[in-house]
């Protein structure tokens, strides 16, 4: 198999083999859901796990952001983190120190406590791999799960797609992009997208939690917006229809993707947030997001599953692309 997420049909087949016998597991493993919910009396513990496997000088910082996002989209607050850090043989000890310092700093910013984990040096890898298990909590009435979505619900997209992928490409493919004519100013602007607007969805989720008509949230990661919409469809057991003209593709993203022959719809997109809200409630939520400095747009709606997963481009309607792997992974596989 190629690098990236497992194909949805493979993952679904694996997950269907899991028998959850503990009655305290309110939400177990399910394709399209970001975390599990465990009944602890008056609240749920919310548990997720995500790795950082690509090369970056921000490994520890990244780990906290992506795991916290998976907690936020369940309507919860992240509280505790366990981190496993696996290092290649011969690596400088300062790399370990940098990762650990980043973990501590990022946890401090979000009031998360690093409570344990594991470290080791091992053979067979060429770069650090860091895996996080994050735990949060939420009162039962505030938990957000996509299975509560209904036909006719509207889909809101915050910020823009491929913020993360655009920034990573600007940083990691800088020389190639310069050689192909992308200006230094564009690349510098793109590289800063990781920090501004950033890849955390904390602020947008905090606004959405105030709305009782929110029926689901999802952060597009690997596979970009296209894969995220398919995951929403799978979790809600409904179809999806979007208007591509409503999707915010920031200029730096479009320029870099055009230059490298990549599709923004399939490019890793932490920093964006999909919000599923009752029909007719989008405008109120978008206004509330705007007051908090979060750009948002209604891009589509949920419709019957038999209608499929579609998008309108001008007067034409197409199947939303199904990316076998993230466009970022496809690009780096050729290098």
Asked whether residue 164 carries a pLDDT value surpassing 80, the answer given is yes
Q: Cite the residue boundaries of each domain of the chain with CATH code 3.30.1330.10.
A: 8-142
Name beta bridge partners: 85.
Answer: 119, 130
Q: Cite the residue boundaries of each domain of the chain with CATH code 3.90.650.10.
A: 146-333
- How far apart, in whole angstroms, are the C-alpha atoms of residue 24 and residue 330? 40
Mean pLDDT value across residues 23-36: 85
Q: What is the DSSP string of 43-83?
A: EEEEEEEEEE-S--TTHHHHHHHHHHHHHHTTT-EEEEEEE
Residue 1's pLDDT is what? 63
- How far apart, in whole angstroms, are the C-alpha atoms of residue 323 and residue 139? 36
For residue range 109-134, list pLDDT tens digits in order.
999 999 999 999 999 888 899 999 99
Which pLDDT band holds residue 56 (cuts at 50, 70, 90)? confident
Joined together, the tokens standing for residue 67 give 């795991």
- Could you tell me the pTM of the whole model? 0.91
Q: Does domain 146-333 have CATH number 3.90.650.10?
A: yes
Question: How many Cα atoms occupy the beta-carbon half-sphere of 161 within 13 Å?
Answer: 30
Residue 2's pLDDT is what? 65
Count of H helices and E strands in the chain?
11, 13
For residue range 185-237, list pLDDT tens digits in order.
999 999 999 888 899 999 999 999 999 999 999 999 989 999 999 999 988 99
- 196 contacts: CB under 8 Å, gap ≥ 6: none
Q: Does domain 8-142 have CATH number 3.30.1330.10?
A: yes
Asked whether residue 334 carries a pLDDT value surpassing 90, the answer given is no
Residue 8's pLDDT is what? 67
């Amino acid at each position: 198999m190629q690098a990236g997420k497992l194909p949805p049909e493979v993952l679904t087949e694996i997950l269907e083999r899991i028998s959850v016998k503990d009655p305290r597991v309110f939400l177990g493993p399910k394709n399209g859901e970001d975390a599990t919910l465990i009944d602890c009396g008056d609240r749920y513990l919310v548990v997720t796990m995500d790795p950082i496997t690509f090369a970056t000088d921000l490994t520890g910082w990244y780990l906290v952001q992506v795991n916290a996002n998976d907690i936020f989209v369940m309507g919860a607050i992240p509280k505790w983190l366990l981190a496993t850090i696996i290092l290649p043989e011969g690596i400088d000890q300062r790399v370990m120190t940098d990762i650990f310092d980043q973990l501590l700093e990022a946890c401090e910013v979000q009031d998360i406590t690093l409570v344990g984990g594991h470290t080791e040096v091992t053979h067979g890898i060429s770069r650090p791999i860091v895996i996080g298990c994050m735990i949060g909590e939420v009162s039962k009435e505030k938990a957000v799960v996509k299975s509560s979505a209904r036909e006719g619900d509207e889909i809101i997209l915050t910020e823009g797609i491929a913020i993360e992928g655009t920034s990573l490409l600007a940083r990691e493919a800088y020389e190639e992009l310069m050689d192909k004519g992308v200006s230094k100013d564009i690349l510098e602007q793109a590289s800063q997208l990781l920090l501004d607007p950033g890849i955390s969805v904390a602020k947008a989720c905090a606004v959405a939690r105030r709305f009782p008509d929110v029926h689901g949230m999802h952060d597009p990661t690997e596979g970009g917006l296209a894969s995220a919409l398919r995951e929403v469809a799978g979790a809600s057991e409904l179809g999806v229809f979007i208007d591509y003209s409503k999707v915010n593709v920031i200029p730096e993203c479009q320029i870099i993707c055009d230059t490298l022959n990549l599709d923004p719809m399939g490019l890793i997109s932490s920093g964006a947030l999909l919000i599923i809200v009752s029909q007719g409630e989008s405008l109120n939520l978008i206004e509330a997001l705007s007051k908090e400095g979060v750009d948002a747009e209604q891009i589509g709606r949920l419709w019957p599953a038999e209608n499929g997963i579609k998008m309108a481009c001008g007067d034409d309607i197409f199947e939303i692309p199904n990316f076998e792997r993230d466009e970022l992974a496809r690009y780096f596989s050729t290098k």
